[in-house]
Every structure is written in C-alpha cells, then in structure tokens.
C-alpha cells in the first residue's frame, strides 16, 4: 500500500512534472481511498527516489529515507522527508534536458517489516558473465512473498518485504536471460494477492558501452487482481498520464488531486493488465496488454 509516480520528462514538461510531484505529497498526506479501506489515510513509512538526468552528461541520483525504528515510524517526520525529497527532485529535473524519475511514499503492510532498507525504490546491481545492469524498483500492491521465496530457495521470509522478493525474482530471471516483460506479467498474474495489485515502476539501465539513452528504459506495470472489490480497485487503479513533454505513471489519488486544476493539460488512461515501456525522451516505445503475451 503506497503512492507512487514514475515518469520521463523533457524540458517542455517540467511545469507539469512539478504539479505531479506536488500531488504525490498531498496524496501521501491525505488519501481518501486509503481511508475508505479503514486505514489512517497517510503513506508515511518511508520515502525514496531515483532520478536519471541528462545534465551535460548523465547522472544518477538515488536516495531513500525513514524516520523511526523497527516497530513504528514517525509519520510527521517521514512526510516532511518526502516533501524535502520532492524539492530535491524538482531541482534536478529543472536543470536537466531530460530525466527519468521514480518517487515513492510507503505505507507498509501490517505484516511487513519497517525501516530504511525496506523503503522504495529498491536498487539491484545485476552482474553476470554476459551483462551488467542497474535496476531500480518501486511497488504498490502485495504479492505472496512466501511462494516467491520458496521458488527462489530463500528462507527467513520475515527479513524481506514482498516487494523486495518480487525484485529478487526479476533479477533471477534476467540473470537467466528471461524476457523481462513476460517475467513482470508472470509475477502479476501468478503471485499478486487477491486483495491487492501489482502496480510497479522499474528503471532498467544496461551497461554495455552503448550510449545510455539507448540502454535506459522505464517499465510501468499496472495490474489489479480480478477478485479485488470495488474499494480496492479504486485505491489500486493504475494510471498512465501523458502531456506535452511528459509521460508516466501515477497512483489514483494523484489523478483526483490534479483533476481539480482544469487548466492542466493531461490525459489519464487506466492501464490495468498492461506493461508499458517509456524511454528517456518521454516516448512510449511499447504498450502490451498482459493477455496478449
């Protein structure tokens, strides 16, 4: 249970990007869909971001934060940290020709661990004899981590969040040259909890000597379990948004907030059961329905 945005933006879309980021702060602070589910309406169990920015050469800025201990978080301080993070992200993208961004505000599941190392996006460096890749992964939803860890042969499930086990599964499949889109689809359809979704953003950066703009891709995954009820579907509704110079993903609460601004020229499309690829130029390079894979 989290609020999340992920997008690629050029200079033309920076003004819209600022409004999207502000909407994330508001959604994390007062989420009416989360209240409808019987929770307190706040996503304040940590925050994190990654920015890949073209600033006279490519730069990656990655950071996560958490205030609290392993038993409870400081909601006010974590929301303050999210706001400070958004200010930093704004500064970076305003100085860049183009950027790819993931920002995440966490609401931990009742049985999931708390702490800095359980905040999103997660980072994973995949190195084999044939490849070197950097993966940044953020997730809103719930998967059956016990089943994933069993398939991977990993014990001590209490040490991991369900989101991190999904990333471990992705990395395992990539290390065996499996297709990433098919892997993401398999996780969504096979391991998503019945009362949840698998809405994720994955920034994949390959390192093979080619120009980085050809080797960085943002994967956006929207999936709600077919058995989820009406309230859950409203909370987990995955949205693709497009505007001049910007394209990306946002959580449903953010759409409601931004829709109050009638002058904002954005299009919103529900992307349940889709995997979408967005490049650093804010262009959609593929949009695949999971049932067609």
Torsion of Cα atoms, 185 then 275 then 135 then 129, to 10°: 60
Task: Give yes or no for residue 177 having a pLDDT over 90.
Answer: yes
Contact 173, 184 (CB under 8 A): no
Q: What percent of the chain has pLDDT over 70?
A: 100
Give the span between the Cα atoms of 89 and 50, in whole angstroms. 9
- Here the CATH number for the domain that contains residue 157 is 3.60.20.10
Q: Give the residue among 5, 10, 6, 7 at the shortest CA–CA distance from 281.
A: 10
Task: Give yes or no for residue 70 having a pLDDT over 90.
Answer: no
Q: Which domain holds residue 153?
A: 2-292
Q: What is the mean pLDDT of residues 261-270?
A: 96
pLDDT at 129: 80
Task: Give yes or no for residue 71 having a pLDDT over 90.
Answer: no
- How many folded domains does the chain comprise? 1
Q: Distance between alpha carbon 97 and the CA centroid of its chain, in Å?
A: 22
pLDDT in tens, 203-224: 999 988 789 999 999 999 999 9
CA dihedral for 172, 64, 104, 41, sign (positive or negative) = positive
Give the span between the Cα atoms of 73 and 65, in whole angstroms. 11
Tokens at 258, concatenated: 């931004």
pTM over 0.95: yes
């Amino acid at each position: 249970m989290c609020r999340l945005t992920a997008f690629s933006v050029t200079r033309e879309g920076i003004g819209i990007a600022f409004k999207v980021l502000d909407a994330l702060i508001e959604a994390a602070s007062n989420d009416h869909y989360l209240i409808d589910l019987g929770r307190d309406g706040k996503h304040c169990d940590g925050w994190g971001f990654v920015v890949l920015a073209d600033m006279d050469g490519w730069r990656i800025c990655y950071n996560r934060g958490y205030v609290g201990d392993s038993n409870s978080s400081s909601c006010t301080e974590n929301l303050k940290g999210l706001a400070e993070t958004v200010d930093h992200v704004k500064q970076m993208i305003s100085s860049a020709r183009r950027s790819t961004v993931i920002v995440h505000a966490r609401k931990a599941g009742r049985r999931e661990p708390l702490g800095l190392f359980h905040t999103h996006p997660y980072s994973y460096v995949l190195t084999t004899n044939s490849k070197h890749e950097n993966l940044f992964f953020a997730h809103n939803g719930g998967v059956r981590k016990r089943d994933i860890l069993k398939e991977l042969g990993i014990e001590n499930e209490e040490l991991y969040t369900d989101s991190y086990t999904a990333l471990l599964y992705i990395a395992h499949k990539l290390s065996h040259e499996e297709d990433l889109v098919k892997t993401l689809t398999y996780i969504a359809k096979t391991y998503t909890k019945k009362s949840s979704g698998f809405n994720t953003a994955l920034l994949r950066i390959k390192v093979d000597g080619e120009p980085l703009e050809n080797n960085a891709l943002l994967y956006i995954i929207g999936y709600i379990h077919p058995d989820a009820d009406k309230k859950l579907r409203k909370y987990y509704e995955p949205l693709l948004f497009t505007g001049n110079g910007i394209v990306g993903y946002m959580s449903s609460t953010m759409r409601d907030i931004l829709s109050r601004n009638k002058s904002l020229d954005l299009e919103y499309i529900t992307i349940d059961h889709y995997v979408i690829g967005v490049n650093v130029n804010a262009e959609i390079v593929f949009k695949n329905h999971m049932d067609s894979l």
